[in-house]
Amino acid sequence: MHTYSLLAPAKINLYLEILGYRPDGYHELAMVMQSIGLADRLTLRPLSTETIRLHCQHPDLPIASDNLAYRAAQLMATEFQDMFSKYGGIEITLDKRIPIGAGLAGGSTDAAAVLVGIDLLWRLGLTREELQTLGARLGSDVPFCIAGGTSLATGRGEILSPLPDLADLWLVLAKYRSLHISTAWAYQTYRQQFGQPYQPHPDRPAGERVRVGALVSAIAHRDHRQLGLHLTNDFERVIFPAHPQVQHLRDVLGAQPGVLGAMMSGSGPSVFALVESQALAVAVQTQVQAQLADPDLDVWVSQMMPAGIQIITAD
Ligand code: C5P
């Protein structure tokens, strides 16, 4: 029996367009999702009793069934009851490094890592597709977090088409530590303000709805300048008026020399700027920290990652 340590990367959205409301209560989306180097670490080991235990050093994180990683273990225990009985319980240790409530899919990637880890622990031999189908039951971003890399995502975010890697790009990520945004609130507010009927962003030419093609083409051609120009996130329309400091942060990031483009990720409030080298990313980080001089502001340098959940060690 093994103990597995897994790396669970965060994601950013390079594109997020809300197309409409679905009968199942979710929203129809067109997104481009990207794994980044900022990642949680999870260790999974077997327990001799049939229980699920989650430990986490982060004081604000729930460690029972309101935590998505815990729910992922519960789902596996229910789906594979005989294996749960045969191998005993699971102890999960979560080293939380991705900020919570940030629009970076931190909870989803932890859940993805638990699915992958339990598949290994119990020698289930599930395919990636089978793991992703289970993941979709936990959250819309979980299937992407399992595969990672760069991907077009449609449906409610669970239908994935892989895109060429953007591994040579760096990013500067920034978030006000005390500001958290509920994804459910962001969707609900968007629907109230723009959803009857769904109004495309005013910058878009009339009749043109899904315009993710320009960004996909920029990715395919490794045209970083065009990539920066076509970053899109519909949630900025509701988050910026509610939290003007997030818009200011994006504008400050976007104004730094060498930045290809800056945007909010997911339902926010984290924002990122894309650059072409680590040295440029560090320069932007230093400059933004000096310019805003806010003790509540966290700024990270990170890199695009070509994969999702990865095994660090298996003992
Ligand atoms: O799927 P997940 O549980 O991560 O979704 C979190 C919240 O975002 C839910 O309230 C869900 O209704 C909303 N959501 C949505 N449309 C999507 C994805 C999420 O309305 N495509």
Span 127-142, pLDDT tens digits: 999 999 999 999 999 9
What are the φ/ψ torsions at residue 153 (nearest 5 degrees)? -130, 130
Q: Is the CB of 151 under 6 A from ligand 1?
A: no
Give the Å distance between the CA of 157 and the centre of ligand 1. 9
| Residue-level pLDDT at 209 | 59
Give yes or no: 141 in active site.
Answer: yes
Stretch 236-257: mean pLDDT: 98
| Residue-level pLDDT at 197 | 65
In order of their start, the domains of the chain are 4-164 (3.30.230.10), 170-305 (3.30.70.890)
Report the alpha-carbon distance of residue 65 to residue 253 in Å, rounded.
37
Burial (CB count <10 Å: 0-12, 13-18, 19+), residue 35: buried
| Residue-level pLDDT at 165 | 95
Give the Å distance between the CA of 3 and the centre of ligand 1. 32
Ligand 1: atom nearest CA of 138 is 3
With both helix axes pointing from N to C terminus, report the angle between 278-292 and 244-254 in degrees, rounded to the nearest 10: 130
| Residue-level pLDDT at 137 | 98
Closest by Cα among 308, 297, 255, 300 to 278: 300
User: What is the percentage of the chain residues whose pLDDT exceeds 70?
Assistant: 95
Q: Is the CB of 157 under 6 A from ligand 1?
A: yes
Stretch 91-95: mean pLDDT: 97
Q: Is the CB of 206 under 6 A from ligand 1?
A: no
Report the alpha-carbon distance of residue 64 to residue 59 in Å, rounded.
13
Report the alpha-carbon distance of residue 309 to residue 111 in Å, rounded.
10
| Residue 190 confidence class, pLDDT cut points 50, 70, 90 | very high
Give the Å distance between the CA of 284 and the centre of ligand 1. 33
Q: Is the CB of 29 under 6 A from ligand 1?
A: yes
pTM: 0.95
Q: Which amino acid is at 32?
A: V
Stretch 49-57: mean pLDDT: 92
Give yes or no: 86 in active site.
Answer: no
Report the alpha-carbon distance of residue 262 to residue 250 in Å, rounded.
6
DSSP sequence for the chain: ---EEEEEEEEEEEEEEEEEE-TTSSEEEEEEEEEEEEEEEEEEEE-SSS-EEEEES-TTS--STTSHHHHHHHHHHHHTHHHHHHH--EEEEEE--SPTTSSS-HHHHHHHHHHHHHHHHTT----HHHHHHHHHTT-TTHHHHHH-SEEEEEETTTEEEE----TT-EEEEEEETT----HHHHHHHHHHHHBTTBPPPTTSPTT----THHHHHHHHTT-HHHHHHT-EETTHHHHHHH-HHHHHHHHHHHTSTT--EEEE-TTSS-EEEEESSHHHHHHHHHHHHHHH--TTEEEEEEEB-S-SSEEEEE-
Closest by Cα among 154, 145, 190 to 31: 154
Stretch 222-249: mean pLDDT: 97
Burial (CB count <10 Å: 0-12, 13-18, 19+), residue 59: exposed
The CA-atom distances, in angstroms, between 303 and each of 4, 79, 156, 173 are 24, 36, 26, 10
| Residue 59 confidence class, pLDDT cut points 50, 70, 90 | confident
Give the Å distance between the CA of 13 and the centre of ligand 1. 15
* 40 has pLDDT over 90: yes
| Residue 201 confidence class, pLDDT cut points 50, 70, 90 | low
Span 66-77, pLDDT tens digits: 899 999 999 999
* 161 has pLDDT over 60: yes
Report the alpha-carbon distance of residue 239 to residue 227 in Å, rounded.
23
Q: Is the CB of 187 under 6 A from ligand 1?
A: yes
Report the alpha-carbon distance of residue 238 to residue 242 in Å, rounded.
7
With both helix axes pointing from N to C terminus, report the angle between 68-79 and 128-136 in degrees, rounded to the nearest 10: 120
Report the alpha-carbon distance of residue 112 to residue 183 in Å, rounded.
18
* 186 has pLDDT over 60: yes
Q: Is the CB of 105 under 6 A from ligand 1?
A: no
